[in-house]
Amino acid sequence: MKENTCAACDCELDATRIAVKIGGRTVEVCCEECAVALREAEAAARASDISDK
């Protein structure tokens, strides 16, 4: 399984990749902006998940 693309925008990752922990697993994104976007998306998903139960 290849994971050489940004988890947020699907850009190819290079040396400036950033590792972000999302819900217990680590994903890599291309820049800080994508890291923030991913964290916010995960937080929103988790919030809706909790209110579901």
Q: Which of 20, 27, 30, 35 binds Zn ion (CB under 5 A)?
A: 30
Dist CA 48 CA 20 (whole Å): 21
Q: Does 38 contact Zn ion by CB under 5 A?
A: no
Q: Which of 21, 40, 22, 20 is CA-nearest to residue 31? A: 20
Report the distance separating Cα 30 and Cα 8, nearest Å. Answer: 8
* Binding-site member from 17, 20, 27, 34 for Zn ion (CB under 5 A): 34
Smallest distance from Zn ion to CB 8, Å:
5
Question: Where does this chain bind Zn ion (CB under 5 A)?
Answer: 6, 8-9, 11, 29-30, 34
